[in-house]
Amino acid sequence: MSDELDSYRGELRKWLVAHTPRHWREKLQASSEEEVVDFYQRWTRQLHSGGLLVAHWPQEFGGRGLGFQGQVVTQQELSRADAPRPRPLAISLGHAAATLMEHGTPDQQKLIEEILDGAIFCQGFSEPEAGSDLASLRTRAERRGDGYVINGQKTWSSFGRYARWCLLLARTDLAAPKHRGISFFLVDMDSPGITVRPIRQPTGSSEFCEIFFDDVFVPESMRVGAEGEGWKIAQTTLVTERAVQMLELTETMRRSVSQLVEDSKHLPGPGGGPLADDAGFRSDLAGVGIQVEVLAALTERSLAAAAATGQLGPASSVLKVFFSELLQNFTRIATEASGMSEMGDTGEPREVGFLSGQHFVDHLRSWTWTIAAGTNEIQRNIIAERVLGLPREAQ
């Protein structure tokens, strides 16, 4: 496998040199949201046409069978080339694909071809009163003939208004314990009765959406797994996904810190000289640099454990909390360093990553990392109970 991985790395590196769009961040920041989504979909198809999008997937699903180590190589080389990641397709290429591969019927697995062609999936998981306590969701799926009728509301669905399909959790058994009365559905977003409302964020963008389901019919053939298995199926994802994502984020953070070091040579400092000469700023930035290397070490250790065991487990909570706080700290320092001009209205910032170089916008967006995928408070409970072995919180 080592020779095969080395060959793949060389092929990918050469391809990215030839095909990575130049100045893609700057171009996206001047584009409409629709143009941004279209760019990522075209880039997804381009990567796939080169055989480089999902090399880690099994061959029967369009990959090369390189497994977890192939996924690591892909992220390393994308980071090295500073190439775009297909952000609007994160759910499609991650959770949706993994769920379909493991739990989908042969007909449902045909949707994987749509994913490779750029189809966007969104998640219909969180609700206004069921975020961190997701199992308390109240969206209903009532049996009706050869299918189900869905009624309810979902929120924080990333790229929901561009989605072709929705991964939906809905309650099918009101009498069952809350974790056991939930079923998993694939919902066609063109179905009658679906209303999507974008949620405008402080950054000016509208990546997140609310989705309303009013008597939406879903065929039984689009239920994934048996009734009541939705909670278990929803846990399906690529077990290393968070750690692999940290590879990308660590490299991006390294580049961002290095860029701020260069910028500080030309930014005014409090004493009248360049900011790079200010001891307080140098100390703050050095602290961030050290934390980036700690994150890199934690990520490397987590990846090694995942490669050996196939499981990442609660260690992913450590990575999530550490990175979220590091991101907030760095973007705060960068915003303060850049001065008032950084806080001007740039129009409608586009979603081009959490470290886009627009420091004030990045700082605003950094707070989403403390909430998404389980709040940091929830993650600290997981770390306390499952990593440190502390007693469970009294109920």
- Residues taking part in catalysis: 241
Choose among 172, 131, 179: nearest CA to 151. Answer: 172
- Within 10 A of 130 (CB to CB), how many other CB atoms are there? 20
> On the CB side of 35, how many CA atoms lie within 13 Å of its CA?
10
- 182 φ, ψ (degrees, to nearest 5): -110, 140
Choose among 86, 87, 2: nearest CA to 45. Answer: 86
The DSSP secondary-structure symbol of 186 reads E
For residues 323 and 291, what is the distance between their CA atoms, to the nearest angstrom?
9
The identity of residue 241, as a single letter, is E
* Pairs from 77-83 (Cβ < 8 Å, separation ≥ 24): 77/9, 77/12, 77/13, 77/16, 78/16, 78/248, 79/247, 79/248, 79/251, 79/252, 80/13, 80/16, 80/251, 81/13, 81/16, 81/17, 81/20, 82/20, 82/255, 83/16, 83/20
Render the burial of 71-109: b for 16+ CB within 10 Å, e for the rest: bbbbbbbbbeeebbbbbbbbbbbbbbbbbbbebbeeebe
For residues 217 and 142, what is the distance between their CA atoms, to the nearest angstrom?
10
The DSSP secondary-structure symbol of 339 reads -
For residues 285 and 299, what is the distance between their CA atoms, to the nearest angstrom?
21
Choose among 325, 305, 327: nearest CA to 249. Answer: 327
